[in-house]
Amino acid sequence: MADRMIKQERAVRTRASLLHAAAEVFAEHGYAGANVSTIAERAGLTLGALYFHFRNKGDLAREIVLNQPELVVPPHPSEGLQHAVDTTLTWAYQLLDNPVLLAGARLVMEQEHFIEPAENSHQQWTRVVSEDLHEAQRRRELRAGVDVEALARLLVYACTGAQMHSHLETRRRDLPDRVEEMWRCLLPAIAVPSAAGRLEFGESRVRAV
């Protein structure tokens, strides 16, 4: 039993090392420019170890992209519209130095090579955001007539575009400011004044106490 547990723990560590190395390589070179030899070397492992856990670099890229939302967890409890704001701000701040999120940002433009359209990252993030917006609607934080699904798509597209332009212009250093700017432009059109007035922004929203 002890030997089995040790082997399982070693396998978990190996898999995590490969994903971390793959994230760094994808973030630096993109999907087309990455290769499994470089990833294995970066992880300090053999190609055999890589192929034991993943069939190819597409499997690595797919897992990195589909696991993105699990990494973006706001540290402070919130619901509805505030949680949607917190999630996007957490993503923006973490993207500055998290290699897995950086890889996801780079891979988003090449995901047709390794992810089916129905499960791509845009669809995935839209579902995440729409859950918060539906809750905001139940809490009467949104204006009457707001199309929640359309708004969720708009927010995801806006965040994607913000990170692309921020990368080109400031190496993403101003991405949190751009995300906050996005919300402040949209809120008068989508939120009732009382709900908008209660929202909190800033780096303090994404830092644990």
Cβ atoms of residues 61 and 31 within 8 Å: yes
Tell me the pLDDT of the chain averaged across its residues.
92
Q: Which pLDDT band, with edges at 50, 70 and 90, does 209 fall under? A: low
Mean pLDDT over residues 40-49, rounded? 95
Half-sphere exposure of 36 (CA within 13 A, CB side): 15
Whole-angstrom distance, CA of residue 160 vs CA of residue 166: 10
- CATH 1.10.10.60 maps onto the chain at 2-65
pLDDT at 59: 95
pLDDT band with cut points at 50, 70 and 90 for residue 1: low
User: Which CATH number describes the domain made up of 68-206?
Assistant: 1.10.357.10
What pTM does this model have? 0.89
User: Quick check: 60 and 22 in contact, CB under 8 A?
Assistant: yes
Confidence of residue 44 (pLDDT cuts 50, 70, 90): very high
Distance separating alpha carbons of residues 180 and 201, to the nearest angstrom: 7
| Residue ranges matching CATH 1.10.357.10 in the chain | 68-206
Pair 191, 81: CB distance under 8 Å = yes
The CATH fold assigned to 2-65 is Arc Repressor Mutant, subunit A (1.10.10)
Residue 2: predicted pLDDT: 60
Q: Is the pLDDT of residue 76 over 80?
A: yes
pLDDT band at 89 (very low <50, low <70, confident <90, very high): very high
Helical residues (DSSP H) of 34-120, grouped into ranges? 36-43, 47-53, 57-66, 68-71, 80-94, 99-107
